[in-house]
Amino acid sequence: MNEKILLLIKPDGVRRGLTGDVLSRIEHKGYILENLRMHAGDLSGLLDEHYAEHIDKPFYPGLKKYMTSGPIVAAVFSGARVIEGVRSLVGATDPTVAAPGTIRGDFGRDWCSGALENIVHASDSVQSAEREIKIWFS
């Protein structure tokens, strides 16, 4: 089965010049880059739609501030079991404990900024990927 996944390179990843490194790790695994777009400017509407289930949670204002702190690169990759494969490459959400060799393990750390700056977002299911791709590539 050929799946698709949305990958977001968050503002900290873009700011630190890691976009090429992140994309190439996924391409080197053999997944196909199908679409790529840089989003800059007012991303409030996109973020509210993307994180709709979190809007009322206490951490959301900090997350939104972090996610609007700079450009975001959105990418769509495809391939057999791409969701499982990319999420394995990305590593644990908390960059402090993400395994070495993963994107978050190699590039992420806790910056004590109040938000979890963890370089990337990757869709966690086929349904999430379909919904998120529509948001970022409409």
* Catalytic sites, residue numbers: 121
Determine the Cα–Cα distance for residues 115 and 70; give it in Å rounded to an integer. 14
Supply the DSSP string of 22-76, one letter for each residue: HHHHHHHTT-EEEEEEEE-S--HHHHHHHTGGGTTSTTHHHHHHHHTSS-EEEEE
- Please return the burial class of 70, using the count of CB atoms within 10 Å of its CB with bins 0-12, 13-18 and 19+: middle
**Element spanning 136, H or E:** helix 126-136
